[in-house]
Amino acid sequence: MTQLQDLGAARAAARVARTLRERGVRGVQSGPRTSTRSNPAGLTARELDVLALVSEGLRNREIAAQLFLSKKTVDHHVSAILRKLGVETRGQAAAEAARLGLDER
């Protein structure tokens, strides 16, 4: 289904997902939300929240406290952000966010 979504065949992907769910297949994802798809880096709303705080220079423990998340959850979000932005460091992530206009949130 991911390949169908990547090809822009959202209706076909939704049809396949619905059929699989009807047949009892568990764990079928419905795909990214509209807001995630419209984001130039494919970041979720929560990832954007985390990225904003990373850009402010906060550490994962501080971000976790501010967003009422576990540190481990923030670790996962930061890893996903770095991967999606194609960068290796938090500083590079902040710079890429600014370049893409993601810091205007």
For residue 87 the two structure tokens come to 């960068």
Quote the pTM value. Answer: 0.70
For residue 92 the two structure tokens come to 């590079």
Tens place of pLDDT per residue across the chain (105 aa): 667 766 777 788 788 888 888 888 887 776 667 766 767 778 888 999 999 999 999 999 999 999 999 999 999 999 999 999 999 999 999 999 999 887 665
How far from 100 is each of 85, 97, 105, CA to CA, in Å? 10, 5, 11
CA pseudo-torsion sign 29, 51, 39, 104: positive
Which residues are CB-contacts of 40 (< 8 A; sequence separation ≥ 6)?
100, 101, 102
User: How many CB atoms neighbour CB 100 within 10 A?
Assistant: 14
